[in-house]
Chains A and B, each alone.
Chain A
Amino acid sequence: MDRHRRPTVLIVTATLLCGALLMAASAAPPLRELRWTSRAADGVRQMTRRPGECLVRPSEQDGALSLEIGRAAFRSPLVLGGAAARAGLSCDTCHRDGRGNSEFQFPGLSGGPGMADVTSFHFSPHRGDLLDDPRPIPDLSGPKALLKIAQSPESGDLERFITGLVVEEFDGQPPPDRVIRGLADYVRALDPAACPTKDALITAGDVLDDADRAVAAASRALALKDGPSALVMIGSARSALGRLDERYTALPVSRQALSEADRQLLGASEAVRTGGPDGAARLASWQAEEPRLRARLKRDEGRSLFNPTVLSAAVQ
């Protein structure tokens, strides 16, 4: 048996090594997120483990939809706009899983790890103050009393704050009302009492879940005839597929599957944008085919950059 297996094992090992070397040969880090991760940090650990969400899910249906819309928007770089969006930053960049990010370090924007100067001209012409005054990134899942914006739904303060953040701090377009409300509801639903006790390995399934949940939220927004919110959700799902794609750089079959899944979503967004009749059908079709994509990604996951060993080789 060993005699038969050995060449295959060697080829797999060599292919893995080859893929890792190819990625290492490139000057850019293999994952975009590493560009704004402190060099002092354990980048591999940071890219392969997540703190876990401290989310309390509402029982009623409307609240659940709003939370899902907020959750997807929170993870989409397209929401912020301006230079931040072009760099690939989303709310989740600074607030991983709705928490903080002690290893965030963006050149020119962070004094030290875990800090950000939100009044820099780097991202926007609106709130710059010419002072280099980075502040610690708050943990959105920490005690509510420590957060500077009141979160009661009645006041609407949080919605106004988030809108100002997108439009003025990041020079983005005002998101649709339902998305703003969703972002606020998502932040409200973060509760320190609900935090997991340990961090967890990031899996391809987790990221595909993000895409899947965003597509489900898009379908429901569309059912409410809210095309603009549905487009934000589809954009978020596509971003999640992009995050998967960069982990499968050396695995062409999985990449092809991801590319096809993305093209389906592009078609759906075109249909939604033009008011075509088949937007909902396209999203349903995507969801129907998602299990095949999931299985494909699962097969290759051990050879992808979700595997800390493979990522470690690619980073060096």
Chain B
Amino acid sequence: MTRLLLVVVGCATLGLASSLPLAVLASGGGGGGGSAPSASGPMYDPAAEYQKGLEAISNGKWKDAQRAFTNVTDAAPKAFEGWFMLGYAKAGGGDPKGARRAYERAAKLKPEDIATRRELAINLARIGETEKARSELALLQGRAATCAEACPDAALLKSGIAAIETALVPPAQAMQPTPQSFVAPPRPDQGDQAYADALMLVNQGRLDDAWSALGEAELALGPHPDILTYKGYVRRRMGQTHMAEDYYRQALAIAPEHRGALEYYGELKVLQGDLAGARRLLARLDQVCAFGCPEAEELRRWIATGAQPS
């Protein structure tokens, strides 16, 4: 019976370990690793943390949400959605200063994003930084004027401007409560659909639309290596190879064995004439792909051709 208990306890321990983010298990932390945990820094599976954060928000657990989105931004500091949602969680938890900092980081990563500008301005207004809030307002007003209610973002610009104007009214005079106008992010299944849509849009050659769909997917699913890889692919197809490389590297930072990222990054290396770099990525793919995989075979073809195979 004791032996049975030991097996069951062992099983429970393994079960607990299996529920931890993969990146945690791979970090070598928790004793026995080559470096102290503080040296390697906290490592999390950002997509899983992102989902935790969304769930905490839907349950009104703002502190938990803040913790989860902080983990996302630690693990994927270049992922816009992590910073945006951290701002949202900070604002919801009554920390407009923290929200402002997070939204500023989000705005640096995606300066054109209207929702980020809107939320940044609202939180600036909340902490009394009215001049800065007004300059954000002016930025959106300028875009709205250029758009003249004819662009796809017209409605978003209009509602954003109205929300900032309401936030800028001193509380004593305000007829309405200060808004937090952000609409809840899409559900994971909607993110899957947006990702599938993006794949089809790429095959139709509609790269801008594919890019938008990937943004939607990322808002629902967080910085997931599949999405980052495909963002890189779309950027490559747009001819923006440096951005493509950046996305592939982000994906590989989260998931070093990601087959798609290794393949596409290798193909980019071929296009850049770096065959040695492509071969190194192929060697990694061959290691990762137990039992063979199409990603390795495709990259092998690229390397053999020295270009994109016809």
Contacts and interface: CB of A to CB of B under 8 A. Distances in A.
B251 interface: no
Given A22-B14, A123-B203, 5 more contacts: A25-B15, A108-B193, A121-B203, A121-B204, A128-B203
B200 A120 contact: yes
A173 B15 CA distance: 42
Given A108-B196, A120-B200, A239-B292, A7 B3 contact: yes
A262 B294 contact: no
Contact of B291 (A15, A18, A22, A262): A262
B18 A122 contact: no
A236 B209 CA distance: 37
A122 B14 CA distance: 38
B95 interface: no
Interface string B173-204: 00000000000000000001100100111111
Contacts of B15: 18, 21-22, 25
B10 A25 contact: no
Contact of A11 (B3, B286, B298, B309): B3
Interface stretch (A81-89, A179-187, A217-225): A81-89
B237 to A, nearest CB: 11
Nearest to B2: A7
Given A11-B3, A122-B196, A125-B203, A22 B294 contact: no
A78 B4 CA distance: 44
B59 interface: no
B301 A173 contact: yes
A122 B297 CA distance: 21
A262 B286 CA distance: 12
Interface of B: 1, 3-4, 7-8, 10-11, 14-15, 18-19, 192-193, 196, 199-205, 259-260, 286, 290-292, 294-295, 297-298, 301, 309
Contacts of A77: 294
Contacts of A271: none
A238 B291 contact: yes
Contacts of A10: 1, 3-4, 7
Contact of B260 (A86, A130, A245): A86
A276 interface: no
29 contacts: A10-B3, A10-B4, A11-B3, A11-B7, A14-B4, A14-B8, A14-B11, A15-B7, A17-B11, A18-B7, A18-B11, A18-B14, A18-B15, A22-B14, A22-B15, A26-B18, A77-B294, A78-B297, A85-B294, A86-B294, A107-B196, A121-B199, A121-B204, A125-B202, A130-B204, A238-B292, A242-B290, A245-B290, A259-B290
A93 interface: no
B98 to A, nearest CB: 31
A46 B11 CA distance: 29
A266 B300 CA distance: 14
Contacts of B203: 121-125, 128
B227 to A, nearest CB: 15
B233 to A, nearest CB: 12
A34 interface: no
Given A10-B4, A83-B199, A124-B203, A242 B11 contact: no
Contacts of A78: 292, 294, 297
A311 B19 CA distance: 20
Interface of A: 7, 10-11, 14-15, 17-18, 21-22, 25-26, 77-78, 81, 83, 85-86, 107-108, 120-125, 128, 130, 173, 235, 238-239, 241-242, 245, 259, 262, 266
B270 to A, nearest CB: 16
Given A18-B10, A86-B260, A235 B200 contact: no
Nearest to B14: A22
A241 B292 CA distance: 10
B125 to A, nearest CB: 41
Contacts of A26: 18
A5 to B, nearest CB: 13
Nearest to B297: A78
Nearest to B310: A173
Given A128-B200, A128-B204, A239 B11 contact: no
A7 B196 CA distance: 50
Nearest to A258: B291
Contacts of B11: 14-15, 17-18, 21-22
A107 B192 CA distance: 10
> Residue among B201, B205, B290 with the most chain A CB within 10 A?
B290
A172 B238 CA distance: 22
A180 B193 CA distance: 34
Contacts of A128: 200, 203-204
A202 B270 CA distance: 43
Nearest to B300: A273
Contact of A14 (B7, B199, B259, B260): B7
A124 B202 CA distance: 10
Nearest to A238: B292
Nearest to B11: A18
Contacts of B290: 242, 245, 259, 262
Contacts of A81: 294, 298
The 7 A-B pairs of least Cβ separation, nearest first, read A242-B291, A18-B11, A85-B294, A238-B292, A121-B200, A125-B203, A121-B203
A26 B15 CA distance: 9
